[in-house]
Chains A and B, each alone.
Chain A
Amino acid sequence: MDFIFHKARYQFELTGKKARDLHEFLAVIKEVNESSIFNHIYHALLDYHLLPLEYPNDFAYWIADVLHEPVLAERLANLDLREFHDLEMLRNRLINIIEDYLAMHDVTSRAGIGQEFHFVRCISVVFPTRYAVTNMNEALDILKEIDLDSIFYYFVASRLLGGGHYRLLSQWILENDSHELMEKLDNLYPYGFANMNDMRNEIIRIIERYFWEHL
């Protein structure tokens, strides 16, 4: 059966919610749309800079840069995203980290005008690419050349935001290959990679190694 690779492009939309201090920030984290949490934590994976940025997500960056709370920023920067299989788990972890910090620290700093944190959600527009494959060898070749937005869509966005295509990819791999390969891919989570290209290389390495071991 042919498998058609899909991808998504993202449009950003203001949620209308913003925070000027850590208490307001926490209150919004508790209620804001999941796609806003996703956007602020993960979008940096698709931003490319030749020099690494100090913090890997928007929350950590704002808390360090504007609220001048580097300890909390570092805690939020070092989230192990492998722990989170859905965005509600991630939201709860963010809430716990901030509440724990507030319990131990008197945080009074407040953002100046123009420095507020604006919560932005992303709209996913999902569409098929021109890449269709019939077996894993062809899929491997495509994974080597398909653009990074597709990798991000399958292995990050589709798993967390929905869209269903990671599930379809899983089913296709299970039908064509094995449960074991899918398990290895399931255990792949984006943080720990400097960028999406490194993640692509790891996906290719996993598949190639699997093929080598099962020749």
Chain B
Amino acid sequence: MNEKRSVWEYEDIVGRGLLEDLESLAEHIPGSVQHINATYTGGGVAEILSSMIPLFKGLGIETDWNVIRGDDDFFSITKSFHNVLHGRVEDAVDIHAYKHVSVLDDLERQINELNQRKDMLETYLRWNKINSEEMDLDYDVTFVHDPQPAALIDAKQKGNWIWRCHIDVSNPDALVWNFLKESVSKYDASVFSTPLFSRPDLRIRQFLVPPSIDPLSDKNIELSQSEIDSVLDKYEITQDKPIITQISRFDRLKDLPGVIDAYKLVKKRIDCQLILAGGVAADDPEGMGVYHEVMKKADGEADIHVLLGSPPFTDIEINAFQRASTVIMQKSLKEGFGLVVSEGLWKGKPVIGGATGGIPLQIINGVTGYLVHSVEGAAFKIANLLKDPELARKLGENGREHVRNNFLITRHLKDYLLVMLSLEDPSGIIRL
């Protein structure tokens, strides 16, 4: 990825002050910067880096983005790492499954598991070593994203190394975390999205940098009404009644049945329609099952549009669904940061979400949307917003401003520059 992008393309969105600051801060970044993660495409990290790297370059910072390679075994293992670090033991599957070791488990089973895990950990380390031998690691600042490449730190040659953790590791599988911690502890600093996702047992500096959306990406860019109409026509959705939308994978933790139940309660009083649009993660064997359950629950309801993105929806389609909505839902039972909430808020829509993960940072209850704890609570808030368009408009407007100030890529870029500069001096006041 060699293209540059000027931060000044964002001037109409964020104003001059921040952009001038980005230029001032960038002048003091020492030398070259590298970002390393596991993939160029797919997933939130790749999406953010796709926007971020050209901006780094546009600021005149010599920046490279490289990904590690590995075989199917390696990526299957790191997927399991992700799941058990994220506290999603139920998602760890097949031969690579990890489980929390319980004192009640019988000894033989524990030994088998530990042996199996030992093989996996060795595979993980072997692929990190292969990558470290193949990659150029001679940079002044190296950001390593998430667990997959974390052990590259063993080949550190120079500069500051920062481990950027995008996932929630507050309640991990102890064995996997302790293994990973061996590597992470060797970094100069770490970065977490929120204090809720951090670790008390990590002795290196821990900075806070929430993730962000790119307002100029296809997923968030302004669309004309004709572009929105064309997407809705394609999926045979009319716009003659208010639309409630949840964009999420077909995953139990997104509580899609709860969204349908809330919709049904509202529908008794107010004519409206519901869009549930999302995909099924390739590594989630339950996904299709959840999709079929949702289809069954929606059966006979003409105004519920259950849309399975296969092939995946384009970013413009997701954008159009959100922009056509009156109310956006993210009624998750468990969530990572849940940036889809910021996507909805940025489009000026009130968002109703579950109070979990990063959602409460984005939904300020009663200001940018509503945090709900039950089907009934969700229904009550949806109905309020459908009955009171002025309230919905006001919350949506607040939400857009909240995202403008806190969750755009330009703020994210500023934070990374500040983290790099903060490493130079632990005193707390850095004078440039």
Contact = CB atoms under 8 A, between A and B. Distances in A.
Interface string A124-168: 111111100000000000000001010000000000011100000
Interface string A81-125: 000000000000000000000000000000001100010111111
Interface in A27-54: 33, 35, 47-51, 53
A13 B207 CA distance: 4
Interface stretch (B16-24, B129-137, B234-242, B297-305): B16-24
A11 B195 contact: no
A118 B195 contact: yes
A200 interface: no
Given A9-B25, A48-B405, A120-B195, A16 B20 contact: no
**Best-surrounded residue of A13, A118, A129 (most CB of chain B within 10 A):** A13
B376 interface: no
Contacts of B195: 14, 18, 118, 120
Contacts of B171: 113
A9 B418 contact: yes
Given A125-B422, A130-B20, A13 B25 contact: no
Contact of B422 (A51, A53, A113, A123): A123
B415 interface: yes
A18 B405 CA distance: 26
A126 B394 contact: no
B429 A126 contact: yes
B17 A124 contact: no
B429 A163 contact: yes
A47 B25 CA distance: 21
A29 B419 CA distance: 25
Instruction: Indicate the size class of the contact surface on chain B.
Output: 35 or more
B184 to A, nearest CB: 14
Interface in B415-432: 415, 418-419, 421-422, 428-432
Contacts of A147: 15, 17
Interface stretch (B40-48, B268-276, B395-403): B395-403
A124 B426 CA distance: 11
B397 A50 contact: yes
A13 B367 contact: no
Contacts of B101: none
A42 B431 CA distance: 21
A138 B55 CA distance: 34
B185 interface: no
Nearest to B171: A113
A124 B20 contact: no
B231 interface: no
Contacts of A122: 428
B200 interface: yes
A210 interface: no
B397 A149 contact: no
A88 B429 CA distance: 18
B206 interface: yes
Contacts of A127: 21, 24-25, 28, 431-432
Contact of B206 (A14, A35, A53, A124): A14
A12 interface: yes
Among B171, B367, B419, B428, max chain A CB count under 10 A is at: B428
B401 A49 contact: yes
Contact of B428 (A33, A49, A120, A149): A33
A47 B24 CA distance: 22
B207 A11 contact: yes
B364 A123 contact: no
A191 B70 CA distance: 55
A122 B206 CA distance: 12
Contact of A49 (B200, B367, B418): B367
A7 B207 CA distance: 21
Nearest to A146: B17
6 contacts: A14-B192, A18-B200, A50-B367, A118-B195, A124-B428, A126-B430
Interface of A: 7, 9-14, 16, 18, 33, 35, 47-51, 53, 113-114, 118, 120-130, 147, 149, 161-163
Given A9-B414, A127-B28, 10 more contacts: A14-B206, A14-B208, A49-B367, A50-B394, A50-B398, A53-B364, A123-B422, A125-B25, A125-B422, A163-B429
Interface of B: 15, 17, 20-21, 24-25, 28, 170-171, 192, 195-196, 198, 200, 205-208, 364, 366-367, 394, 397-398, 401-402, 405, 414-415, 418-419, 421-422, 428-432
